[in-house]
Structure 1
């Protein structure tokens, strides 16, 4: 299965907004519409996730400083979960983020009640470093 990250554009933004997670996941993931508004007005990086040329998910990250990037949004539509797409997409995103020459740290926050997040992110090298409302995990580059 070919997985690609592509820019969110005038041609695909409505489809990105229509992507959905399961009812059980809704409290764990922000809505894509709100994320795209943030991305547009704050200059955050956003990507549409495609699998075999079909739109299946969404990513957004923020360059906090030249040394730190935070992944703020990552979702795969409920119809495409548990197929390995998220794993391939996160690998692609991390490779793109790591192109920043001064980068030292990539962080991600997730709801500690999310049953798969800890194992999934730790398999990429993220280490949990603390919690307030959400769990914070980092990779040192």
Structure 2
């Protein structure tokens, strides 16, 4: 399976916006359309389509909070493409791209602590839980570089 991260363009943005998670995952993921709008109007936001053989099957967005810190804000794989290892490959590719940032010391991700899969999945990449975020809603986990 050929998984890649591609820039979002006028040719693929509609396909990215049409991606969806399962009904029970809706509370854990922001809409891709909203995320693309957010990225368009804010500096330092990076978006990528997760593609299999050039076809969008997922979405990633990360934000350069500072020279030292990048936060992964969005990460989803379409319900038709879950449980195939695509998310694992995509996150590894994203981490490799993010780590190219000069001076980077920390990568963080937040997730709903009620999400049963998130903790173990992110921990397998080296993310360590450090407590709840400022709003007290999501678990914050970091990789120290």
TM-score between both structures, scaled by the size of structure 2: 0.96
Describe the superposition over 1:28-79 as per-residue Cα deviations: whole angstroms up to 9, x where unpaired. 1000010000011103100000012221000000000000000000000000
User: For structure 1, which runs of at least 5 residues remain unmatched after alignment?
Assistant: none
Q: Which residue of 2 aligns with 1:138?
A: 142
Q: Which residue of 1 aligns with 2:107?
A: 106
User: For structure 2, which runs of at least 5 residues remain unmatched after alignment?
Assistant: none
Q: Which residue of 1 aligns with 2:11?
A: 11
TM-score between both structures, scaled by the size of structure 1: 0.98
Deviates more, 1:50-59 or 1:88-97: 50-59
What secondary structure does 1:10 align onto?
coil
Deviates more, 1:45-54 or 1:22-31: 45-54
Runs of 4 or more, structure 1, over 2 Å off, are none
Give the Cα separation in 1 of the matches to 2:21 and 2:6. 20
Describe the superposition over 1:74-109 as per-residue Cα deviations: whole angstroms up to 9, x where unpaired. 000000000000000000000000001100000000
RMSD in angstroms over aligned alpha carbons? 0.6
